[in-house]
Amino acid sequence: MVRPNLLRRLVCLVVVTLVVACQGPQPASLAPMAAERVVSRPPIRAAAGMVVSADMRASQVGRDVLRAGGNAIDAAIATGFALAVTHPGAGNIGGGGFMVVRLPDGRATAIDFREKAPLAANADMFLDENGTYSSTLHHNSHLAVGVPGTVAGFAKAHERYGKLPWARLVGPAVDLAAEGFVLTGNLARSLRGVVQRLSRYPATVDAFTRDGEEYLPGEVLRQPDLARTLERIMREGRKGFYRGETARLLAAEMRRGGGLITEEDLARYEAIERTPIRGTFRGYEIISMPPPSSGGPALVQMLNVLEGYDLRSMGHNSAAYIHHVTEAMRRAYRDRALLLADQDFVEVPVDRLTSKEYAAELRQSINPAMAGHSDPADVSVPHESDQTTHYSVVDADGMAVSVTYTLEQGYGSGIVVPGAGFLLNNEMGDFNPQRGLTTSGGLIGTEPNLARPEQRMLSSMTPTILARDGRLVAVIGSPGGRTIINTVLQVALNVMEFDMGIQEAVDARRLHHQWLPDNLRIEAGGVSAETVGQLRAMGHVVQVRGRQGSIHSIMIDPVTGDRLGAPDYRQSDAGAAGH
């Protein structure tokens, strides 16, 4: 006789095997290798529209919206709400992010729905009773929660550029939460880990277990509280989140846990439409996110510096190439730490940072044969978690949308709002911890990014669109915390400088330098031992690391006009869906 628990596991194994089979072939191994370029499978091809995200089910939701006559904005909104259900580690309605849009006629805009500090926030809020900085308060408490922006951002985008009715875009997420979906092995393992880590929050345990028992791969996860919250958003729009029952439940949890967000904070929150950052590189146009994202300015700054070198003749991921890219990264991340913040509160010299003239000055400081030096007494880069998510959308008319949004750490603060079913962010951790507290390990105490009431915290998220000669080329972006900007930089260079196809550009191994700590991190298998030796001889401190980023991208075939979807198979549940 088969024991009930064993039978349950066998059934789950069969179900999850069928799910994997339906999703198609799985990614090849990303084990270390000596070669500098990775053998890639072909991208996913579609004639009309394409959605690429961290979760195949969410991509399919977006694709179905395109098939129903929606545009890329509609599909991006529907995908984002679906990810809040199927990708809870980073997909969200309790976090925030950025959206960059290129319209079919070439005009572009950006929607800033980054979280804000509550009205009661101040620069000393992360000090304990002894006046000492507390990492726990900063990152793992109710004080770490910023006012969420995702729902307001989606509502703003829909109001300005959407086509289908709002309810059509939220409805699929309501159904996914209410009816449930089959857990992949990856998500089941992730939920098991988060429940063990966050057992102190009963609502979190209730949301991600079945009566306290961990879910197994192949079982169905239902989220009834989240479904009711999404239904209020579906019926009432942004008011269904920022006012009424949902706002009451969120504010009540803040009071219970010692957080600062009130119903007034929620009612006051507004997403902002901003002018994108624009730059050029060898005839390509770069369209990216302005502050409070540091991504757009730093990306354009690095490309401007690198435009002065013959990177192609150096060879992709050669020692010379990596050296020059690293030195551009070093300088951009230093400027990021010193100068960038929410431009509604701090004067940010964006025009100078993104100018060709400033890039020429920076090139003069780069020794072509020797690594630069990052001074620990100068400044370092604040902590940002790797657990963000990015997705890309292109519709039949050529509208392109690049969205990066996050809860900050994986599952954010880990706090599920009781009765509302959604996770809260811990984005206040992206503010500097304490005025004047700067360390070589990554803390920074410079003035611009200190917490102030209603200020948006600095971010590395870099949703980006590439164009050339008035035509859309690619939509890119990545999670990865402080690595995001450098990941986007390298995929852009792979396309623009090395003529890689989009899947090859995404699959290629990556590197990262962020000023401080002063080390160069390279993905395992990214370079040969000989190249590592050459870099060390130049003075670089080289470390081999695991995967970097997850850059779900789309390119337009210049001959056929087809949309080429390139999931980043560093993330096993990722998928592209086109029509």
CA separation for the pair 78, 163 (Å, rounded): 12
CA separation for the pair 492, 328 (Å, rounded): 15
b/e for 278-311, b at 16 or more Cβ within 10 A? ebebeebbbbbbbbbbbbbbbbbbbbbbbbbbeb
- Give the strands of the sheet with 388-394, arranged side by side: 272-274, 108-113, 96-102, 400-406, 388-394, 50-53, 575-578
CA separation for the pair 27, 107 (Å, rounded): 36
In this structure, are strands 388-394 and 213-214 parallel, antiparallel, or unpaired? unpaired
CA separation for the pair 242, 253 (Å, rounded): 15
DSSP per-residue string spanning 478-535: ---GGGHHHHHHHHHHHHHTT---HHHHHHS--EE--SSS--EEEETTSS-HHHHHHH
Per DSSP, 429 falls in state G
* C-beta separation of 76 from 99 below 8 A: yes
Considering 388, 446, 462, 464, which one is annotated as catalytic? 388
Per DSSP, 428 falls in state G
CA separation for the pair 336, 297 (Å, rounded): 8
Q: Indicate the burial class of 545 (C-beta count within 10 angstroms; 0-12, 13-18, 19 or more).
A: middle
* C-beta separation of 246 from 218 below 8 A: no
CA separation for the pair 449, 455 (Å, rounded): 9
Report angle CA 102, 79, 294 to the nearest 5 degrees.
Answer: 50
- Residue 388 bears catalytic tag: yes
Q: Give the residues across from 554 on adjacent strands.
A: 475, 565
- Asked whether the bond before 217 is cis by omega within 30 degrees of 0, the reply is no
Secondary structure class of 203 (helix, strand, coil):
helix
| Catalytic residue annotation | 388
